[in-house]
């Protein structure tokens, strides 16, 4: 499992400061949800969701971030 931030408007994955990608291999894996949430808050990333990504896309779990900003 990998932990990503995904822009809810563009559906792109966070790859670094001001960098977004469609490719999960190029996206930044935060490894733990709290790290992703800290980054989203510190960089003012919105609108984003936390995405628990598995090899099989049928098992992806998007989590809405409430109160960011």
Domain ranges within the chain, ordered by starting residue: 2-55
Going residue by residue through the chain, which has 69 residues, state the pLDDT in tens, using 9 for 90 and above.
999 999 999 999 999 999 999 999 999 999 999 999 999 999 999 899 999 999 898 999 999 988 765
d(CA 9, CA 4): 15
User: C-alpha angle with apex 38: 33 to 56, nearest 5 degrees?
Assistant: 30
pTM for the structure as a whole = 0.92
């Amino acid at each position: 499992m990998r932990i990503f931030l995904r822009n809810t408007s563009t559906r792109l994955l966070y790859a670094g400061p001001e960098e977004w990608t469609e490719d999960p291999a190029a996206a930044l894996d935060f490894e733990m949800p709290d790290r992703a949430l800290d980054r989203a808050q510190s960089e003012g990333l919105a609108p984003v969701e936390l995405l628990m990504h598995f090899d099989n896309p049928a098992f992806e779990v998007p989590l809405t971030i409430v109160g960011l900003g």
